[in-house]
Amino acid sequence: MNEPVFAPNHSWTQKFSTAIRGVILGTRGHNSFVIHIPAAFLVLAAAYYFQVTRLEWCALMICITIVLATELLNSALETLAKAVTRAENPFIGQSLDIASGAVLLAAVGAGIVGMTIFVPRLIA
């Protein structure tokens, strides 16, 4: 017997409202955003100050977006893990470590892009 698939029909307004709620929930209580958000603003301020090119703006915005998005996914996984069990579970622990690794990889990549754009300007 086939179970019906849960697929609510939401309006675009409801979808955006849910997504915004997700961003708010993902940033609350997750202290990594205390670092990522100010860092993003510093990068944007530096980009404005150094008058980076349009292509460099795009690269910086993509990097900021990727770091924040991976952090949100990491926060979602942490929240889900807490809902599943509070007991120590090696598989959940490994999943959380992998998600943290994804954030680290995104942040290191963003840092390399930032250094490529800003270091020559700082030297000049």
| pLDDT tens digits, one per residue of 38-61 | 999 999 999 999 999 999 999 999
Q: Please report the domains of the chain, with CATH numbers, ordered by start residue.
A: 33-123 (1.10.287.3610)
Burial of 16 (0-12, 13-18, 19+ CB in 10 A): exposed
Cα–Cα distance measured from residue 42 to residue 61, given in angstroms and rounded to the nearest whole number: 12
pTM value surpassing 0.75: yes
Confirm if 26 and 72 have CB atoms less than 8 A apart: yes
Number of Cβ within a 10 Å radius of residue 27: 18
The residue assigned the tokens 């807490």 is 82
7 Cβ neighbours under 8 A, 6+ residues apart: none
Average pLDDT of the chain, as a whole number = 92
**Closest alpha carbon to 69 in 27, 35, 41:** 27
Least confident segment among 42-51, 79-88, 94-103: 79-88
Cα–Cα distance measured from residue 86 to residue 58, given in angstroms and rounded to the nearest whole number: 41
Consecutive H or E run containing 49? helix 33-49
